[in-house]
Amino acid sequence: MAAVVGLLVSACGLESGSAVPLRVGPGSIQPVSELDGVRITVGSKDFTEQNILGYLIEFALSAAGAEVRDLTDIVGSNSLRDAQLHGQVDIAYDYTGTGWINYLGNENPVPTSEEQFVAVRDADLAENGMVWAAMAPMNNTYALVANPAVAAEKNITTLSDYANLVNTDPTAAATCVGTEFNVRQDGYPGMARKYGIDVGKVQKQIVQDSLVFQMTADGNQCRFGSVAATDGRIPALNLKLLVDDRAFFPKYNAALVMRQDFAEAHPKVIEVMEPISRLLTNETITELNRLVDIEGREAAEVARDWMVQQGFVTAD
């Protein structure tokens, strides 16, 4: 995997990252002497929300005086994780559920956001020397959405309702699922077991995550679809978010992740980022996602403007 990441990075000309895309100046985040000139590479995964979160880190640490390099938009959770473990990325936002289930190999989620954070924080530090810090209130959990007309016609409001529809009228429950959701144990396979879905009856199309929203909204090929709960296309397309009434999906609160040696060498990084994480609610990140995915704005611009609006930085 390290070789694959290296090839991908090299192919994009980003061996050590590229420059931060927009300049910012100090706001409430003032220059920090301990971070002056410190070279920090920031990473993210390759979807809208992750790019926004990556840019928030970049602008914050730039205002604090660090020499920040941009290595956002890495393809897939495992590739970002590997880049961090091997020192190609110093810091990124990741999700507590992903850490607990995918990176640490646990099968059962921990019930509350705080308990899930503590569990992954303690285990990942002990097993891999990775530090989790500054958890945000935003919970980007997996979810299923329904075409609004289908949900109303079939009276589908919960995942139990969906499971019953699959088992009794599979055609009416045609579902689009993203590639990762289709195979992850915190995705469709685990959900099917939890809710007693007869997988032999499921009429399922595996598509790119970005296609799920419009295909479900159109309601022709797919009446239901797998999504991330904080995606701005859910309210924009009037999709019906189904209630996880058996509490299957883990909590996916965003938190900073970095190697222990980096965190210990630069403790001021967490201090700079904590006030930003505290403001990242589901409502806030959903709106920022919407500005990119529906209005077509650049993720870096959306992240910078929000940082300016909150007074953390100034536009330079």
Q: Which residue has the higher pLDDT, 273 or 101?
A: 273
| CATH for 178 | 3.40.190.120
Q: Does 13 fall in a domain?
A: no
pLDDT attached to residue 13: 35
Domain end (from 190, 214, 241): 241
Q: Residue 240 pLDDT > 90, yes or no?
A: yes
Which residues does 235 contact at the CB level (< 8 Å), separation at least 6?
286, 290
CATH of the domain at 28: 3.40.190.10
In a shared domain, residues 133 and 24: yes
Evaluate whether residue 2 is within a structural domain.
no
pLDDT, position 15 = 53
Structure confidence at residue 76 (pLDDT): 87
**Token digits for 123?**
């285990």
Residue 11 covered by a domain: no
Task: Report the half-sphere exposure of 247 (CA within 13 A, side-chain side).
Answer: 7
Q: Does 260 lie in the same domain as 217?
A: no
> Among all chains, which residue has been given the structure tokens 């309210």?
235
The continuous run of DSSP H or E covering 254 comes out as strand 254-259
Q: In sequence order, what DSSP letters do the residues of 272-283 get, joined into one string?
A: HHHHHHHT--HH
Decide if 4 is inside a domain: no
Q: Which pLDDT belongs to residue 184?
A: 83
206-225: pLDDT as tens digits: 999 989 999 999 999 999 99
Q: What does the CA dihedral 123, 124, 129, 135 come to, rounded to 10 degrees? A: -110
Yes or no: say if 44 and 74 are a contact pair by the CB < 8 Å rule.
yes
d(Cα 39, Cα 87) in Å, to the nearest integer?
12
Using one digit for the tens of pLDDT, what is the confidence trace for 74-133? 998 999 999 999 999 999 999 999 999 889 999 888 989 999 999 999 999 999 999 999
Neighbours of 294 (CB within 10 A): 14
With a cut of 70, say whether residue 16 has pLDDT above it: no
Note whether residue 9 is domain-resident: no
pLDDT at 3 > cutoff 70: no
Structure-block tokens of residue 82 = 């590997």
Please, which pLDDT band fits residue 6 given cuts at 50, 70 and 90? very low
d(CA 61, CA 65): 6
Q: How far apart are CA 145 and CA 191, in angstroms?
A: 14
Closest by alpha carbon to 162, among 246, 235, 251?
246
Return the minimum-mean-pLDDT range out of 183-192, 214-223, 275-284.
183-192
As a whole-number percent, the residues of the chain with pLDDT over 90 amount to 88
Whole-structure pTM value? 0.88
Judgement on whether residues 130 and 259 belong to the same structural domain of the protein: yes
Together in a domain, 161 and 301: no
| Mean pLDDT in residue range 307-312 | 98
Do 26 and 128 lie in one domain? The reply is yes
Domain count, the chain: 2
Q: What integer pLDDT is reported at residue 7 of this predicted model?
A: 38
pLDDT at site 316 = 81
With respect to residue 93, please indicate whether it lies within any of the assigned structural domains: yes
**Domain range for 203:** 142-241
Cα(130)–Cα(126) distance, integer angstroms: 8
Domain check: are 234 and 264 in the same one?
Answer: no
Interatomic CA distance for residues 115 and 77, integer angstroms = 22
The mean pLDDT value of the chain amounts to 93
Q: Which residues contact 178 (CB under 8 A, 6 or more apart)?
A: 206, 207, 208, 209, 212, 226
Cα 38 off chain centre by: 27
11 confidence band (pLDDT: 50, 70, 90): very low
188 and 159 in contact (C-beta within 8 Å)? Answer: no
